[in-house]
Amino acid sequence: MDKRIIGIIIPVIAIIAVSSVLFITPSSEIITNKNNENIGLVINSPSSSISLQQLDEIFTDASSTGIGRSNVYLFWNIIEPVEGKFDWSQSDIIMGLNEKNNHKVTLYFSIINGATLGPFPDWIGKPTLNGINEDELVTVLDAILSRYHIVDSVIIAGETESQFRYNERWIPVYQELFSNVYDRIKEKHPDVKFGNSFGLHNIINKNLEHIVSDLTLGDFVAFSYTPTDSLYEIRVE
């Protein structure tokens, strides 16, 4: 686990979605490649009621910007609502549209979402970090990656610094969980990269660099960024 890919996720305003950039690349590469897999969007519909045809058009519009990557949020409670029974009805549509548009996928399967854990399926309940079953986590990740070969990057924890800001005693627990899951999944999916995401604005404003250092695990470290001042107010310039 020596290789590190440093990425950044920057919120961008777009017609079709709240967008994000995952990996930074030289501007010359962005210009010369029509679809750059290092540039991605979170592609969302403008409303909760939308037809498949409309959704198809949204993905086509997103792809026309030159992106070659889609950042997909797929949580455990959606994909495995009943233990051992996977529901692919929603994810098949999203992944199918990404495959149609030649997008690689960065999967946000976050068992940590900022200060909260999960969301987990009801059959798991609301575990603490040391209550998350490693075997169950490996099983669901293996099922997803075996089904969707366009997924080449997986983020296990998002805004990770917020989870451990006041709970640093849990860092060793998460380090062990991540490392064990990483080793087991890599045996089956050696080409998929795994890492954690951090809120760069939080890291800077709250001096949490040490948490990033402690949790620089796996193949990459990703950063989201929302420009804020010391009072955590978003700056608009």
pLDDT value of residue 150: 97
Instruction: Look at residue 60 and tell me if it is in a domain.
Output: yes
Dist. CA 154–CA 106, nearest whole Å? 6
Instruction: Look at residue 213 and tell me if it is in a domain.
Output: yes
pLDDT value of residue 172: 97
For the chain, the C-alpha Rg in angstroms (whole number) is 18
Instruction: Look at residue 212 and tell me if it is in a domain.
Output: yes
What number of other Cβ atoms are within 10 A of residue 201's Cβ? Answer: 19
Dist. CA 122–CA 77, nearest whole Å? 7
Structure confidence by residue, pLDDT tens digits, 29-68: 333 347 888 888 888 777 778 888 999 999 999 999 999 9
Instruction: Look at residue 236 and tell me if it is in a domain.
Output: no
Instruction: Look at residue 234 and tell me if it is in a domain.
Output: no
CA dihedral of residues 171, 203, 213, 192 (deg, nearest 10): 80
Dist. CA 141–CA 103, nearest whole Å? 20
CATH number at residue 20: 3.20.20.80
| DSSP label at residue 106 | E
Instruction: Look at residue 230 and tell me if it is in a domain.
Output: no
pLDDT value of residue 232: 53
Structure confidence by residue, pLDDT tens digits, 140-151: 999 999 999 999
Residues in the chain: 237
pLDDT value of residue 3: 46
Instruction: Look at residue 218 and tell me if it is in a domain.
Output: yes
Dist. CA 203–CA 17, nearest whole Å? 26
Instruction: Look at residue 229 and tell me if it is in a domain.
Output: no
pLDDT value of residue 230: 54
pLDDT value of residue 226: 78
pLDDT value of residue 231: 60
| Positions of the chain with pLDDT under 70 | 1-33, 228-237
> Could you give the number of structural domains in the chain?
1
Residue 88 sits in which domain range?
A: 5-224
